A and B are shown apart, each in its own frame.
Chain A
């Protein structure tokens, strides 16, 4: 379940990462977009303004050239013409020096002017009758020459109509200064022209005449049309009355801006018109009739009072940005989609893995349960026995482990083993199960550890393709005698507790099980006394690591074990608990690296070799069968049996006869083996009596004088190799030592 939760966490983390990534991406994208927009906007400003300036300077230049040419003409041909200033230009002619050229000369001058100034499509000069008159034009002289595509035509206007009523003449006369007219369509040739009219004045400001020059606005329009800073941008030019002088659509020429109604008129009037009239430059964003935002840049030509404007749809200015935004959003969406698809796929996969893993873990748990079930239950090992206390402990590093221990009793013998299979986890546990089964089965028919080990080795070597092996220590403890036969196959030597001493058991060097077929396993033997204990363990104990990779170590095993015994953990489980605590204190928070297994066997004497009787002679009959088991268990040669029987009986009879005054008093007899000796200790709570100090009968007396008693003690002293008497705690302890080898 933890793994599934882990995956949930993974999903949450992934979603969070996606979300945070998305936010960061969106913010970054937004900032980039904003900066790009700023940059594009700045560049658009520059680009449009450059274009406008270009047109403005062109148109202004053309107009100025015409003006300059006009003044040059006037000052060279008509006398002292003075151009007072640029904006309020007028020409003052000294009446006295006025040259009065002939009409032919005037026409020639005008023709010449048109030749030199091709931008002018017409030129006219009108003179008041007081100044100049000819017979055909008595009411004032006016000469007019046009040049339309190189086709010149000259007219004597004074003969045709009253030119003084015409706009070109009257406007200059009224204004009293030179001025550019609003463009108009010239009726004589149909071109849209603008007319520069210069009043000719005398020193008293009396009007002498007017010079007027027509300029075809087509060149301006061509210039405007040639400029296109952005796709769909429109360059227009309007006159002082907001009529189009230039427009890509020529049908709109001379129509009022408001008539065209491209924009919200009120916005145009409020925001732009005033600035235009004040000859200011600027820009403004307006909504057109289609609802699109239009950037409206404008600047004025002061000379003529016209306005040049460039209209750019915002979309075309920011088209790249918009496209970028669109593309980026599209890519982001596609990426997110791909991410989601990948994520779902991954999740499904992980879920599958998690489910199969969960299933496998359940199976491993079951396997682990089976494995634990195969081990003996250490909680109450042998409740019916008071001579044996056993406790096993196993803690696999993974769900299932390669360590094992086992013990069982057959024929009053404790068969036990501890083993460690190479490797960890499932393979080790399978091999371990085989080893365990072999141990159990072989131990049913054999009581020699060396031959059991050999048989196990043969079985394990066969078909051991994966070269697995198992170190093992096994023993067969004869519970009747304390005789321990054991065999060690490459396992770490157990620790033997004898009295207060702790020492590693002497073990022969045998190779681990499953390595060499036919290896001759060598067994060993030791006799355990009452209170002896054997502590077996796997290298998981000594090699238990703490966070700083320090090993628990052999020395710590010994010292912890000594402490465990000292703290009066008399029970095997108490010692094991103390060891487990000691190891876990050492390991701390470190991860367990290997299986940890321990087995503790406490032997408290051969219970069969203790006999309790009361002080009744008939109880002596119990001695013989008891002694027979002692003799059998200790494998005492039969020729010693008679003397043992005799000495023990004599000693016991002595106690029965003399120790107590009352009946039904207890006498305890116990036999143990110490090295080559059998030690029989007879304990009673009766009167103090030391048989070793008893008077010896004189064997040389004749029959008549021989005492009846005293023979028993004598026999005891004669047969036993040593007799020890102790008076302890109000009881007599008589120990008889017999050499039984």
Chain B
């Protein structure tokens, strides 16, 4: 799992690659700290390279989303593969994020 964060003014672009599973979730929690810090901005998560996501990953995404709500930002998920999208759908996360 890699997370590539590129701030661009009001927007922070982040590219998530690989698997966001339980094993990687702790690493992700550390790596997404810049996003947590910039939760007042528009965070765009490019999930085109995200192969897998588990509930642990979802929890972190939910944590990030809650932070943006607290700080006035938002989270947009784009280019998620159908399998990942399906997970968002099943878990009802579909309504919590913006999707592109």
Q: What range describes how many residues of B lie at the interface?
A: 20 to 34
**Which segment of A71-79, A196-204, A379-387, A638-646 sits at the interface?**
A638-646
Contact with B along A587-630 (1 / 0, CB 8 A): 00000000000000000000000000000011011001000000
Contact of A708 among B21, B52, B62, B90 (CB under 8 A): B62
Asked if A703 and B22 make an inter-chain contact with CB atoms under 8 angstroms apart, the answer reads: no
| A501 at interface by CB-CB < 8 Å | no
Asked if B22 and A617 make an inter-chain contact with CB atoms under 8 angstroms apart, the answer reads: yes
Asked if B83 and A643 make an inter-chain contact with CB atoms under 8 angstroms apart, the answer reads: yes
CB-based closest 7 A-B pairs: A699-B92, A711-B55, A712-B55, A642-B83, A620-B23, A653-B22, A621-B23
Asked if A642 and B52 make an inter-chain contact with CB atoms under 8 angstroms apart, the answer reads: yes
Asked if A650 and B54 make an inter-chain contact with CB atoms under 8 angstroms apart, the answer reads: yes
Asked if B23 and A715 make an inter-chain contact with CB atoms under 8 angstroms apart, the answer reads: no
B97 to nearest A CB, angstroms?
Answer: 9
A selection of 20 A-B contacts at a CB cut-off of 8 Å is: A620-B21, A620-B23, A624-B19, A642-B83, A646-B52, A646-B54, A649-B22, A650-B55, A653-B22, A653-B55, A704-B66, A706-B62, A706-B96, A712-B55, A714-B90, A715-B54, A715-B87, A715-B90, A715-B91, A719-B90
Contact with A along B83-94 (1 / 0, CB 8 A): 100110011100
B25 to nearest A CB, angstroms?
Answer: 8
Contact with A along B13-49 (1 / 0, CB 8 A): 0000001011100100000000000000000000000
A646: chain B residues within 8 A (beta carbon):
52-54, 87
A715: chain B residues within 8 A (beta carbon):
54-55, 87, 90-91
Asked if A703 and B96 make an inter-chain contact with CB atoms under 8 angstroms apart, the answer reads: yes
A624: chain B residues within 8 A (beta carbon):
19, 21
| CA distance in complex: A650, B55 (Å) | 7
B91: chain A residues within 8 A (beta carbon):
699, 711, 714-715
B26: chain A residues within 8 A (beta carbon):
617
Interface size on A, residues (CB 8 A): 26
Contact of B62 among A650, A699, A703 (CB under 8 A): A703
| B3 at interface by CB-CB < 8 Å | no
| A718 at interface by CB-CB < 8 Å | yes
Asked if B63 and A708 make an inter-chain contact with CB atoms under 8 angstroms apart, the answer reads: yes
A155 to nearest B CB, angstroms?
Answer: 182
Asked if B96 and A718 make an inter-chain contact with CB atoms under 8 angstroms apart, the answer reads: no
| B56 at interface by CB-CB < 8 Å | yes
B86: chain A residues within 8 A (beta carbon):
643
| CA distance in complex: A709, B22 (Å) | 13
Asked if A649 and B54 make an inter-chain contact with CB atoms under 8 angstroms apart, the answer reads: yes
B71 to nearest A CB, angstroms?
Answer: 13
A653: chain B residues within 8 A (beta carbon):
22, 54-56
| A700 at interface by CB-CB < 8 Å | yes
Asked if B92 and A700 make an inter-chain contact with CB atoms under 8 angstroms apart, the answer reads: yes
Asked if A617 and B59 make an inter-chain contact with CB atoms under 8 angstroms apart, the answer reads: no
| B77 at interface by CB-CB < 8 Å | no
A706: chain B residues within 8 A (beta carbon):
62, 96
Q: Which residues of B contact A (CB under 8 A)?
A: 19, 21-23, 26, 52-56, 58-59, 62-63, 65-66, 69, 83, 86-87, 90-92, 96
B50 to nearest A CB, angstroms?
Answer: 11
Q: 16 extra interchain contacts, Cβ-Cβ under 8 A, other than A624-B19, A699-B92?
A: A620-B21, A620-B22, A624-B21, A639-B83, A642-B52, A643-B83, A646-B87, A649-B21, A699-B91, A703-B62, A703-B65, A711-B55, A714-B55, A715-B54, A715-B87, A715-B91
B66: chain A residues within 8 A (beta carbon):
703-704
Asked if A704 and B83 make an inter-chain contact with CB atoms under 8 angstroms apart, the answer reads: no
| CA distance in complex: A158, B56 (Å) | 193
B19: chain A residues within 8 A (beta carbon):
624
| CA distance in complex: A706, B91 (Å) | 11
**Chain A residue with Cβ nearest B91:** A711
B53: chain A residues within 8 A (beta carbon):
646
**Chain A residue with Cβ nearest B81:** A642
Contact with B along A185-219 (1 / 0, CB 8 A): 00000000000000000000000000000000000
User: Beyond A714-B91, A715-B91, is A617–B54 a contact (Cβ under 8 Å)?
Assistant: no
A649: chain B residues within 8 A (beta carbon):
21-22, 54
| CA distance in complex: A700, B91 (Å) | 10
| CA distance in complex: A400, B22 (Å) | 63
| CA distance in complex: A134, B83 (Å) | 195
A618: chain B residues within 8 A (beta carbon):
23
| CA distance in complex: A618, B24 (Å) | 9
Q: Which chain A residues in 295-327 approach chain B with CB under 8 Å?
A: none
B54: chain A residues within 8 A (beta carbon):
646, 649-650, 653, 712, 715
Q: Which chain A residues in 214-242 approach chain B with CB under 8 Å?
A: none
Contact with B along A448-470 (1 / 0, CB 8 A): 00000000000000000000000
| CA distance in complex: A289, B59 (Å) | 151
Asked if A718 and B59 make an inter-chain contact with CB atoms under 8 angstroms apart, the answer reads: no
B92: chain A residues within 8 A (beta carbon):
699-700
A708: chain B residues within 8 A (beta carbon):
59, 62-63
A699: chain B residues within 8 A (beta carbon):
91-92
A704: chain B residues within 8 A (beta carbon):
66, 69
Q: Which chain A residues in 345-389 approach chain B with CB under 8 Å?
A: none
| CA distance in complex: A498, B62 (Å) | 48
| CA distance in complex: A552, B57 (Å) | 65
A738 to nearest B CB, angstroms?
Answer: 15
| CA distance in complex: A639, B81 (Å) | 12
A646 to nearest B CB, angstroms?
Answer: 6
| CA distance in complex: A699, B21 (Å) | 21
| CA distance in complex: A78, B86 (Å) | 186
Asked if A645 and B52 make an inter-chain contact with CB atoms under 8 angstroms apart, the answer reads: yes
